[in-house]
Structure 1
Amino acid sequence: MTLRYIFHFNLFIVLFFAQVCAQKAKNTSLKNRPIEQLYSNVKPLKYGSMPQYFIEAHQSGCYYEVYINGILNDTRYINAGTMNNAIPINDNILKSGPQKVTIKLFPLGEIDGKVYTTLTERTRFTLEIFKRDKATPWEGLDYDVVHHYFAPTTTGEEARPFAHANEPMYEETFTFNAEVPYELTGWSDSQVIEGQEGIEQEVLDFYKEYADVIRNQDEDKWAEMVKTREQEYLRSVYYNDKSKEGFKKRVAYFTNTFDNEFIEKMPLDKYEITFSANGKIVTLKSLDYPGESAFSFKENRNRHNGERDKYIASHYIFLHKPKGSNKLEIIR
């Protein structure tokens, strides 16, 4: 099992951390706090159809990473099955039309005294993309599968031997069509920053600034840094509906960090700088902990019984430069 918790700012991981107990006293109420102001002055969107898209992956005999339109959406480096790991992806669907999905499969490495440096015939991976309509009442399994993918096999049948055994890694890209009533700016008008002189140092400087903001619990500055990401997330994933429990728990996760009596800066892991979305987005991936961000910090987590314990929070920061700007900003 990995040594650190991974937070990808998605609905179901947020649910895990969501039971936040009584918070440290503050001079202002939650509704007047900078975090809450991120989501102020918005009204729920009302469309005839409000599709919410999700991915759900299952693997055996491999680790994986799933990218939606170039953004890492799901990763698993634990050799165990998953249940109910549906992850919303609307925030990475900028507008209707073809959406690009990239699958990367990796060998298990050392497991139970054996070392796997390549994928084997027993490698299995499936990904289901499905949607439900927020405009209609939720009725349990009331959803539509829009794409079912399984890693290629020798016969073309899902349960047969993996077709790329003995390879050190497998990658495949496909598209599916999405229809959404909104359009997000996202990174559509961003500059191509891959190859820009000094870009790596700019990224390192941004990570240092972001770590200082969290360590100093500068909630105003943090809210300013994540404003675009959070507003596009609320609009696309929840259609500006702040009454949903998943959204409330997302906010609770953030406020818990800024109501924390203990936060410790941690040095960046050894990292790989990676660009995506045709060179418009950059992030730092950890080389010490595969599948995780190179960025982390240590804080006290609220437990279910009201007590706190120290844990390491690690989450990805996806950066871009908006058109006409020479400054990196958080986009996802």
Structure 2
Amino acid sequence: MQKTFLYSVYLFCMLLVITACGQTTEMRPIDKLYSNIQPLQYKSMNRYFIEANQSGCFYELYVNGRLVFEHFEQVGLMGHTTCINDAILKSGMQEVTVKLYPLGQTEVERFDTFTKNARIEVKIEKYDTQVKDSDEKVVTFKIPEASTRNKNDIKIEGLPYYEHTFTFYAEVPYEVTGWSESQDLTKMDQKQLEKEVVAFYNNLSDVIYNQDEAKWVSLVKNRELEILTSEAYNNVNEHVIKSRVKEFKEDFNSSFKRKFPLDKYKMIFGGKGRIVALKSIEHRGMSAFSFGVNRTIFDKLKKIRAFRYIYLHKPKGSNKLEIIR
């Protein structure tokens, strides 16, 4: 009797093993996108970062026409660093634009122009991932405080807006196409372009709302592969890439879904007119494109409205908008 029972248990266990072996887990489209990626190895693997310290103003930072960082909160912000390699297509001169804005309405007063204490310092730094302790300051742009000003300093006191552009030389071992061969969108009929951009954003909103992960991957594939090459040197184990994949998966795992209409917007161009995005004029520093999604914040699942900049271009020989950043 005991032998018969043990034999039955054995057969049941074997059946479980055989069944499990016969099953295959289908890899998700997002996982497929980042699979079979071999890390790049060069003698030099520079990564460039932008950082700003500011007081008495808000700001946006653009690299080669693409917004890479913005700060519009009524709190001080110091010591942030943002990798900008995905805005650098190849070695050569790169363009940085700093856009400054007054504080507007604060808890105690309204500031429609810059005060005498408004200041900002923007730094570009690099380090070689192949070389230990290779941090190097590349360039610094600074509007000093009133106490250090002289007749040659930039003066923004009393202005409602200020913009400054400077350049720096970047040396990277890769070269990605990006928007370098794309059409100049500023030469198109702007009303027609606007219709096409709005239609693209609305279609993307549907794709995310319907949680069509495969379709989404087909739309962002070129962007993601270029970001992998330029920012992470194809290292999918980089923290920034892991965080990126995690966030994308959350978009398609979300139990909360909501479509938001585009904010009132203006079209902004970058890359010498070759890329375009819709910038909100309702929420300062934000994209006009957004969607509802669950996010885990301080260990609690919350429903949020996620704003995300989507830069579009028309590749050479094509009349169709595509996502490039």
Q: Please give the range of the TM-score, normalised by the shorter of the 2 chains.
A: 0.7 to 0.9
* Equivalent residue number for residue 244 of structure 2: 250
CA deviation string 1:202-243 (max 9, x = no partner) = 000000000000000000011111111111111111100112
* Equivalent residue number for residue 310 of structure 1: 303
Contact 2:117 2:146 in 1 (8 A): no
Residue 313 of structure 1 deviates from its aligned partner by 0.7
Query: Is 1:94 matched with 2:89?
Result: yes
Partners of 2:161 and 2:94 in 1: CA distance = 23
Question: Which shows bigger deviation, 111-120 or 287-296?
Answer: 111-120
* Equivalent residue number for residue 270 of structure 2: 276
Matches within 5 A, 1:45-56: 45-56=40-51
Residue 301 of structure 1 deviates from its aligned partner by 1.2
Determine which structure has the larger helix proportion and give its number.
2
* Equivalent residue number for residue 18 of structure 1: none
CA deviation string 1:95-151 (max 9, x = no partner) = 1111100111011111123111111211110111111111134x5xx5111111112
* Equivalent residue number for residue 186 of structure 2: 194
Contact 2:54 2:78 in 1 (8 A): no
* Equivalent residue number for residue 143 of structure 2: 151
Secondary structure in 1 matching 2:186: coil
Partners of 2:283 and 2:297 in 1: CA distance = 25
Higher-Rg structure is 2
Residue 153 of structure 1 deviates from its aligned partner by 6.5
Partners of 2:297 and 2:270 in 1: CA distance = 36
* Equivalent residue number for residue 5 of structure 2: none
Matches within 5 A, 1:154-303: 163-197=155-189, 198-303=192-297
TM-score by length of 1: 0.85
Partners of 1:97 and 1:185 in 2: CA distance = 14
Structure 1 residue aligned with 2:317, among 311, 324, 332?
324
Amino acid at match of 2:302: D
Residue 195 of structure 1 deviates from its aligned partner by 4.0
Amino acid at match of 2:178: G
Amino acid at match of 2:61: V
Q: How large is the RMSD of aligned CA atoms in angstroms? A: 2.1
- Percent identity, please: 47
Contact 1:121 1:161 in 2 (8 A): no
Query: Is 1:136 matched with 2:131?
Result: yes
Structure 1 residue ranges without an equivalent (≥5) = 1-26
Contact 1:154 1:161 in 2 (8 A): no
* Equivalent residue number for residue 23 of structure 1: none
Secondary structure in 2 matching 1:194: helix
Secondary structure in 2 matching 1:275: strand
Residue 152 of structure 1 deviates from its aligned partner by 6.0
Residue 304 of structure 1 deviates from its aligned partner by 4.5
Residue 79 of structure 1 deviates from its aligned partner by 2.7
Partners of 1:304 and 1:114 in 2: CA distance = 32
Q: Between Structure 1 and Structure 2, how many residues are aligned?
A: 300
TM-score by length of 2: 0.87
Partners of 1:120 and 1:157 in 2: CA distance = 14
Residue 200 of structure 1 deviates from its aligned partner by 0.2
Residue 37 of structure 1 deviates from its aligned partner by 1.7
Structure with more relative contact order (C-alpha pairs < 8 Å, separation 6 or more) = 1
Partners of 1:66 and 1:286 in 2: CA distance = 16
The change in CA–CA distance for 1:116 and 1:304 in structure 2 (over 3 A counts) is closer
